[in-house]
Structure 1
């Protein structure tokens, strides 16, 4: 993948000050970010008519300033933040003029200059604070930057955000305590700042935090913004008074229109002049939200009249909207780092593999529990079908154990859904920040999963194969293991496809369970292929990966083994060995219509199915760009 995450061409010089490292960032090429007449329209689901989410919203922020986007639920602040960050949804129509230093911006240019911190912390809980920032630097910074400089940036940010004592502490998983909520939020912001962005977007940065933690996080952001001349735009919901006063400007929205746009210090006199005087000892943030929030006012006529007054007053007081290049700023083009397009093509997948590897051996829930679960399943299977003798009375039992081993191993792949959805959430955030695309993500996912699934296949086979007394040979064991490995690869590839298509845990779980139930029904065990309904046979049976696993395991067991007919030599299946009071296993295969010469073909079909699931999974993620 191309290094679309390369950032602005800024210099970061690490200096010594009283024995401590700190970062000195020269960031003088971006002095202002402005937007003019932002209008967003969507199609109303009920009336099917165009509906405006934002109407002619304008504003600006200068280097070193923090602007707060505020408004009640449904006011359009998240929509505006996404438009400003070039993240508008494809289902909406956005008309706007976005300018840096008075010059229009493009998506590629803006992604190299900006960073976006999501409302929810999309962090890998099994990484430490230092490792989180390290992988952020590896993914976002060009490979031409020496590792020493990258580590210097990381150390500077850890120091600047007051995380020195937590640098080697895990972010935290459900069973391993990590950093606090406020510290986790600081890590999220620091991970975005490691690339020295010029514009920083924060979506509800204080969500889920108490007032003390909120003040802590925003104070650090304020210090960083002033020190390094970063432009900060944050959507925020009812901050405390002290947190609110950290901001330089407020853009207040209501029903998609601007109710106030100006300095924080000016809100008192502005609203007082309109007849809305703020009472003493009142949180100013709560006061302005109350003014524009009409959801809980019984007299809707009064509420609508108040909004009309506020919107009209702003329209009269707002400065005229100017075309690009005429907003009072000198139209100096913004210089950005130009990537070669190939310098991180190999580094990014390797970085993702490295990060996933660390997660795989630290995250007990994602991997350790799955191994324990599969081993428990192997012990159960081996002890239920314990030491089956090679007699004709056990042929059905051997067949049942083959079906159970393949079908239920693939069915239990549903346990991978939570871990994949966590990785998918992180991928979506990093892709929106322009770091990498679906190819690198799915390549790393596949590479890190292959050895893990092979270990599971071997461990399961060591227990279940020998306890059940399958064909006693090294060749038979390893062929069984191969089929189990391909089975798991296909099942996990199906999880990747369906979870990418519907990234909601309950729905993905139901979809994968249903698909595996379908494959069990038509794989040729419950109903033999020749008697299977025409629709199910030709539409699903021949693309059923469980069917090819069942065939391969059946050939492995019965293709090179004979079974005793027991007392009286009344053989259930006629074969060439009947005169020896034995049944040739090939006679069992003949009942299913299986031959011994098609194993290579079955393996080929399995590889095609696995590749097909992965390709369709890639296509789903690519289309969701």
Structure 2
């Protein structure tokens, strides 16, 4: 494995030397950094002091300290581990250091500085990248495509297309992904790359933007010891070669993985019990009376020492932990650390806080649409299954309501078919939830790293759905409409397609809204299904709008997109059609055609209170509902930062 890493590093340098003699290193890639509007000088160090986070306890409502007076310093080229038992505050600290939201009610104190200065949030975002614990990757894209779109969306560099491709090739080579470059990430249906390779892709896709500080949240989560070593090894190689600062929360690393880190911050109960080099941790704890046993993984020993949740004697374990904390705070190394942090905060290097060039939103929009398009035709979960599902639904509907006759006995069947076609096409939009949640997870990651905002994401999502929804609409209508013997004219058929298309667009917009507010599959599924059940109940079919009570009519009926689709389809079918009264000429509706043993379909519409000539008004209301759903969806994305 060592030979493999060495070879990858050599290739990495060779590739970046070829990019106009401007490799990925901070020292000589000055032109690329200037174009990116990043800091004009080398990021020398990243220091934090007095980090304290207090939240309100959910049960007692009393203040609860999550982190207390945490400090540390990481130099360029170093990789630092945040380690401690579960619930010690690792992820909270990582989020504070990365200047991400911790909790809406959290009170955060302390200082974080880069080169002795506190950059603005915009400048800090342009300096840093954050890799989530969960791999927020689009499963139907290949490794190369994932890197390609990350580079196109990034505004931290302004490389040409040729330079961008060389950089992508270099990172793929450096992270040992050359053999998997054209393999998909993996979906629930199609197997892709391994877990360790996914972690490497997650890290590499953030490094494509040439950050100076990289935050990793549990980069080895879910990986075995070999894969964990592999991921951290590649990160260490890149950090050393490019003076990159890496801060990673990590849980129970193996001995070999633990030794790859330069520095360690050991947490327990939100308090610091050690900060320093990994080489000095064993002597430090030995001096405090806790030597690491021979042939024992130091990381496991330290975690067992810090974890008192499962101690048989809680009081004794708690006292032991307090003694370790006091011993560390009063140790010469802790005092030396505080002095070095104060010195680093007073030694200020000039920082460039130049604002980045104005983003080209049309290009970002086109990039997102392109990425979604690849996913849409490659991932059968996105639209393939829905096309098959709607086709089956059309065949079922067409054969159940097969060749309905134009007599009064078929009036109820026609009405039932219209309701079924519109309502169940809308209801089946819940199948879009898994695909949207994957896109949403990618959006959350990209937005947190400053790549794009909710407006362009929402617009791209809307655009890419339109052609597929129209295709579903046409396939369903061609089968169900003509088998059912609805009004056999071209204008009526095209009007049916219009109503069904608006129905699908509104239903998908509802899915996007609910899933944006509650990005959880089970919750989104339950709420969307409930909403569709509500729309079915008040759309005018179950209970005539004339009879629907005031509350349901004015609160829900008038904002029910299914109601406008249903009445539009009803007018389309009955307004210009004449029906036979059947044997005995006993007409169920008395119209001017009763003498000829027929009646006009207008009588059916009158029973529901529907008027003709209002198609334009209903279409306008439907478009307003779609716009409103998308606007609320955008608001939900904007609020959930």
Corresponding residue SS for 1:326: helix
Question: 1:253-268, aligned counterparts within 5 Å?
Answer: 253-268=267-282
- In structure 2, the residue matched to 1:58 is 71
Counterpart pick for 1:220 among 222, 225, 234: 234
**Using the alignment, how far apart are the partners of 1:329 and 1:16 within structure 2?**
39
Query: What is the SS of the residue equivalent to 1:64?
Result: coil
SS at match of 1:29: coil
Secondary structure of 2:343's match? Answer: coil
Contact 1:501–1:620, Cα closer than 8 Å, also in 2: yes
TM-score normalised according to structure 1 size: 0.95
- Is the contact between residue 552 and residue 599 of structure 1 (CA under 8 Å) also seen in structure 2? yes
Which residue among 265, 273, 284 is the counterpart of 2:287? 273
Structure 2 residue 403 is matched with structure 1 residue 387: yes
| Aligned match of 1:445 | 461
Alignment RMSD:
1.9
Instruction: Specify the alignment match of 2:503 in structure 1.
Output: 487
CA shift digits 1:2-60 (9 cap, x unpaired): xxxxxxxxx9983259xx99744437610100000000010111111111100000001
Distance 1:288 1:110 in 2: 33
> What pairs up with 1:223-622 in 2 under 5 angstroms?
223-317=237-331, 318-319=334-335, 321=338, 326-327=343-344, 330-335=347-352, 338-341=355-358, 343-622=359-638
Cα shift readout 1:413-444 (whole Å, capped 9, x = no counterpart): 11111111111111111111111111011000
- After superposition, what is the alpha-carbon deviation per residue over 1:83-127, rounded to whole angstroms, capped at 9, x for unaligned? 000013232111111011111232111100001011111101111
Structure 2 residue ranges without an equivalent (≥5) = 1-12, 30-40
1-structure distance, mates of 2:291, 2:405? 91
2-structure distance, mates of 1:188, 1:144: 21
Measure the CA separation in 1 of the matches of 2:277 and 2:341: 23
* 1:35-54 pair list within 5 angstroms: 35-54=48-67
SS in 1 for 2:546: helix
1:464-508, Cα deviation, whole Å (9 max, x unpaired): 000000000111111001000000111111111111111111111
8 Å CA contact retained: 1:29, 1:335: no
SS at match of 1:48: coil
- Deviation at 1:143? 7.8
Task: Name which of structure 1's ranges 570-579 and 319-328 shifts more when overlaid on structure 2.
Answer: 319-328
CA distance in 1, matches of 2:339, 2:632: 47
| Residue 5 of structure 1: aligned partner | none
2:225 maps to 211
Q: How many angstroms does 1:326 deviate by?
A: 3.3
Against the structure 1 CA distance between its residues 426 and 140, is the aligned structure 2 distance closer, same or farther, given a 3 Å change threshold?
same
Aligned length: 612
**2:3 — aligned with what?**
none
Please point out which of 126, 151, 154 is paired with 1:112.
Answer: 126
Cα distance, 1:537 vs. partner?
Answer: 1.1
Aligned mates of 1:21, 1:96 — CA distance in 2 = 37
SS in 2 for 1:260: strand
Determine helix, strand or coil for the equivalent of 1:35.
strand
SS at match of 1:178: coil
The answer to whether the 8 Å contact 1:375/1:459 transfers is: yes
Whether the 8 Å CA contact 1:142–1:344 is kept in 2: the answer is: no
Contact 1:143–1:347 under 8 Å retained in 2? no
For 2:205, the equivalent position in structure 1 comes to 191
Q: Deviations over 1:509-559 (max 9, x none)?
A: 111111111111111111111111111111111111111000000000001
Q: Secondary structure at the match of 1:530?
A: coil
CA contact (8 A) 2:47 2:341 kept: no
- 2: CA distance, partners of 1:21 / 1:43: 50
